[in-house]
A and B are shown apart, each in its own frame.
Chain A
């Protein structure tokens, strides 16, 4: 990748963007938007897992709580969507700062468990706090008018808004990864001891990555709330934390588009197999097993290896 492919990469991105622009005329927009929200969530998660090597098992708290805050601000305080979303993101970032500050002292499985523990506590808060309305959640949140004059009630308008936020976020996350900061993160991931001996304040880098990841997860949650006009317990539950791990792994860790593709895949299984009734979870489970056994590099990783082989005439699967 990198500079060599610069031009063609940009061309491909442009093509993809064009497709995304016409997509709502081909595909049901609400599903696209849901896919985009989870794609953003998975990409934010990937910043932490793929580029910092930290597996969090508690990202649902950022995703879910941002949604609650956005819903509350939009519905009860009646503020414009941009402020409600900002409120969600700030909440997630603050929560990320607090939990991250404690969690980054641990690594590996212990890091995962500390984040899980915090997420479970936040789940408890979500059940107890009156403003979240228990399992009914906050529903009937108005989509509102962006900046006071853009009516997000229109599905198409909302779609382009979500797309814009997604593209901008992905661009930003990509810049972060490519920046010197991102290089240091990768160095820490690959060899923490060496990074320390090179004089990097390792914990500060990890914490910043954690907060960024939390903030963008929060953004994803807030956008989801904007799309579905509700915030519910399901988003704070540990299953959501697990789901984002699955999305990222299915798509491919540490690639730009991988998590997004994984997210779209999981969301479509959930929605399109919904009519298959009780078989959904069996199918879902089967796909995970299949992917772990055969597609470990993730879909994007495996396919690109395969294509590469095809191009160079080796044709190795």
Chain B
């Protein structure tokens, strides 16, 4: 007797803790390998990405909505900066909400100046996809190595 199953698409996908952690690692690795387009399957259609800062002193900061704008926002950062030694330090998971402490070295491709950064990312998942991603970084130091203002 054949037994089949059919996924109930009306039910919300809820990730388990271990799945969330693995997903965070995949997203981090993919992003910093500059495989930006490969992030697209992981993002929700209404994703919001925020790089905390004001455009008057942090040109790449702001709020980006939707997969296209988010991919472009992230891609623009990678055009301006080279990221090396990026590392996830601590990850905390609270259901669909995740906090990530990270550190790494940023080098501005225009000025060649670089510095070590530690930052924080907050992500929210919905139906297994990234719905929001907010990143905190030392914007004063970003401006300093970039020759902004």
The answer to whether A and B belong to the same complex is no
Point out residues on A near B: beta carbons under 8 Å.
Answer: none
**B residues apposed to A, CB below 8 Å:** none
